[in-house]
Copies of this chain bind each other. A is one copy, B any other.
């Protein structure tokens, strides 16, 4: 498979590089002049020819330069990308933004989305961290009007679920607090299974609350990802290949349809350990919507406890090295923040 000569690899790299820069088919002459190559354009043409036969390049038409194919990008990303560290200046800029933001996940998530979108000039995807195992942490019952009660459920990890309960009978705030305290004691660090196995209480109202708790925990356990944050939609629209609007629609559709996006994230990132980066080029024959796009995804958080996904969706013609580095760095930052603020 990896039968390319060194020179062919260099040329493929350069074509990819030049094409990401200009968004134009790359001609043989352009290449030697742009990168000061010591070989003639004819030689480059010959090599390009073999690369084309191998399926790594293609010509839009007979007398045009070459453009990398999906396979070309794939080969480039898996074998040729040079993982350069993010420039210190960039790292500082990013870190600075987190530093001067308000503390708290609800501020960091949109911030991460915005930082990623700006840095990559593409669409960013950020999901709130979510724990695979749902564990009870704390319950609170707050009297509102008449028999209505606001139930606030805190899960280990820090996720908060709320629900309005209509109780069968009216209780005072003191009574409610007592019930909550009782359940808090009983359910300390309990899993959903453990809660389901517990015997019924004597007070039917307690049972009603327990049922609601179990219900909410059940909902939480079925979530693949937490809240979703997107940013940078307009960046994509600025890309020259989208001058004709139609190719835009499909990838944007993907972002709007949660099930698809969840599927995408579930099938890629969540199978990955934290720190790994997955690159999907052209939808990999699975997501039709992503024909001319690439998605780069990674996971952040604390393993086995609370983790979410970070991603970039952009044109296939994308500065992979830089984008991957940025994504890695933001993931690192976010992991740190999550672990510093873990509720357990």
Contact = CB atoms under 8 A, between A and B. Distances in A.
Nearest to A244: B245
A144 B344 contact: yes
A142 interface: yes
Contacts of A158: 144, 150, 162, 164
Nearest to A159: B162
A248 interface: yes
Contact of A245 (B102, B152, B243, B341): B243
A152 B160 contact: yes
A152 to B, nearest CB: 6
Interface stretch (A30-38, A200-208, A229-237, A307-315): A229-237
Interface in A310-344: 341-344
A238 B249 CA distance: 8
Interface in A74-128: 102-104, 106
A102 B238 CA distance: 38
Contacts of A249: 234, 237-238
A142 B137 contact: yes
Interface of A: 102-104, 106, 137-138, 140, 142, 144-145, 148, 150, 152, 154, 158, 160, 162-164, 177, 181, 219, 231-234, 237-238, 242-245, 248-249, 252-253, 256, 341-344
Contacts of A150: 138, 154, 158, 343
B231 A252 contact: no
B145 A344 contact: yes
Copies in the complex: 2
Given A164-B104, A234-B252, A342 B245 contact: no
Main secondary structure of the interface of A (DSSP, over half): mixed
B343 A142 contact: yes
B234 A104 contact: no
B152 A154 contact: yes
A163 B104 contact: yes
A329 B315 CA distance: 40
Between A137, A256, A342, the greatest number of chain B beta carbons within 10 A of the residue's beta carbon is seen for: A256
Contacts of A234: 249, 252-253, 256
Contacts of A233: 233, 252, 256
Given A103-B164, A137-B142, A245-B243, A237 B256 contact: no
Contacts of A142: 137-138, 154, 343
B237 A144 contact: no
Contacts of A341: 148, 164
Contacts of A342: 144-145
Contacts of A102: 219
Contacts of A238: 249
